[in-house]
Amino acid sequence: MDFKKTILWVVFSMSGLMLYNNWQVHEGRPSLFGGTQTTPPAVVDKATPNNKLDVPTQISGTPALAAAPVVGGGAIEGAEKTMLQNDVLVLEISASGANIVDAKLLKSLTAENKPVELFQYTPTHKYFARSGLISFNNNDLPNHTSNFKLIQSGKDGSGRPFAVFASERSGVKLEKTFVLNPGSYVVDVGHRVTQTTNNPNPLVLYTEIVRDASQEQKIGPFDGAFSASTFTGPAAYTDKEKFNKLEFTAIDKNKITIPTQMGAGDSAWIAMVQHYFASAWIPGDKVARDIYVGKIDNNLYRIGMQIPLGVVASGTTVVEKAKLFVGPQEERLLETIAPGFELLKDYGYLTILAKPIFWLLDNIHSYVGNWGWSIILLTILIKLVFFPLSAASYKSMARMKEVQPRLAAMKEQYKGEPQKLNQAMMEMYRKEKINPLGGCLPVLIQIPVFIALYWVLLSSVEMRGAPWILWIHDLSVPDPNYILPIMMAASMFIQTKLNPTPPDPIQAKVMMYMPIIFSVMFFFFPAGLVLYWVVNNLLSIAQQWKINQMCGKKPAK
């Protein structure tokens, strides 16, 4: 049996199957590997008969969960909005609950050259941040449904835009302060709680992010073409459990495990993640807190964190500070915000390989200044690292090509006698010092690196809107003129000609049609990824042609 061609056949078949599956998911069809990609129902908010929270029977133990938003009658839609803006972020804060219901990212533009709108509160899409107070035996406290008044706004002594909102109920006053820093996607949020009643109860501050399960809005005809392959949903981080992604479907089935009751000093944060962008609540240091997640309405989910404030004595005030991140998943930016925060950028199962690859790519870009040329230089470096393996593979294929006539003669001689044929082939391989697996094993070793690079190029918002040359204006979307996929098909065809022709006619036809199949699949891939494959193929052709020459065999025309 010719093991080399069998393994090659398996590799090409699996690669083609994976590409076809990605295309199926992109078109909204069911995945070939289980599960279905369905269009989530429109968000429907149910009006509730009052404006109170569903208060649990206890605060310790299971987290005390805040209620779903009261939006019946247009409570949020009709409420007055206050705008807060710096040079990268525009926020809209609703007087109903003092919730952040809209966030525009000024440096991340859509295909229509408009800022990406990450937070939204519309009839078809809801994604926003909120906070409030709850207490044992008192469900009438300032919360995310209360009416807040804007009591102060402008710029502080450092020139930072800020706004302060206040609401008082049942003798408890809650002031929310929002401050934007120059050039930052992190909002400083302060919760100032003042107690005036003579019979205070223990108070708990909660901060939540609420989102429907719909995929992120596409910003162009091809943007996020394979974003279904990236994670969208809640996530949580703790020192003990590290980073956990919580699928919407798992929440529906109540099949999730989340860490609760972090001690003082433990790092923890909660987030909502989607392709390229994320939002997250990051509490102040050295405070105990609980994390919770759940479904609060039809196609409406939340992840939250509770911080016990204890009993606030009458006439006293406590202040709890937190940070709210609303922005792109830029790796260098994320690393500066909180422990483990860079994990928001999802590289899949090959993070251990993908992170150093991105680090190398990012450092190349710091010198080159163009992501397209950075990808080309990275491809050359990866090719150099694997040069010994590739050389061994191509030498093996060159030797296999030389003995093809002898193999054909053997198959004719031992026709109908497979056992004798295998013995004769193994004897010839031994005498000629040919390893039939020599051409495949180096390729198999490199596959994890290729997949890791795929995730780097797919997940990196740094590529979004990044031009290369001429017609390539955005490396994160497919080539608009299909030039790179055509070049890739041509390079694969040349590689096929340089390789030994499979003696099996069916395998030979498959190898001939494979470049066409791959090029069609790559029509839907980001241009940056196709650029990598084109450059890698061109380098492989040059290396293989040279080795064929060195082996004394000219490449086939």
H/E/C letters for each residue in 418-473? HHHHHHHHHHHHHHHCCCCCCCCHHHHHHHHHHHHHHHHHHHCHHHCCCCCCCCCC
Higher pLDDT, 164 or 49: 164
Query: Where does 218-350 have alpha helices with state H?
Result: 248-252, 331-334
Q: How would residue 25 be classed by pLDDT, with cut points 50, 70 and 90?
A: very low
Please say if the pLDDT value at position 189 is more than 90.
yes
Q: Give the Cβ contact number of residue 89 at 10 Å.
A: 24
Q: What is the mean pLDDT of residues 333-361?
A: 86
CA distance 331 to 234: 19
pLDDT(70) > 70: no
pLDDT at 537: 81
pLDDT of 373-420, one tens digit each?
A: 998 898 888 888 777 766 666 666 666 666 667 776 777 666 766 777
Q: What is the pLDDT of residues 204-250, one digit of tens each?
A: 899 999 999 876 544 333 344 444 457 888 998 887 778 888 888 88
Q: What is the pLDDT of residues 435-484, one digit of tens each?
A: 655 555 556 666 787 788 878 888 888 878 778 887 888 887 777 777 87
- The confidence band for 15, taking pLDDT boundaries of 50, 70 and 90, is low
Query: For residue 245, with 0-12 CB atoms within 10 Å meaning exposed, 13-18 middle and 19 or more buried, which class applies?
Result: middle
In tens, the pLDDT along 268-312 reads: 889 999 888 999 999 887 666 788 888 888 888 999 988 888 888
pLDDT at 399: 64
* Band (36; pLDDT cuts 50, 70, 90): very low
In the predicted model, what is the mean pLDDT of the chain?
74
pLDDT of residue 498: 63
Look at strands 115-121 and 100-109 and give their pairing.
antiparallel
Helix pair angle (505-522, 527-550), 10° resolution? 140
pLDDT of residue 424 exceeding 70, the answer is yes
Q: How confident is the model at residue 102 (pLDDT cuts 50, 70, 90)?
A: very high
142 or 197, greater pLDDT = 142
Write down the pLDDT at residue 432.
63
Which residues touch 160 (CB under 8 Å, ≥6 apart)? 86, 179, 180, 181, 182
What is residue 512's predicted lDDT score, i.e. its pLDDT?
61
Domains of the chain: 3-29+354-550 (no CATH), 81-343 (2.70.98.90)
Angle at 76 between CA 217 and CA 253, to 5 degrees: 55
pLDDT for 150: 92
Cβ contact 85:185 at 8 Å: no
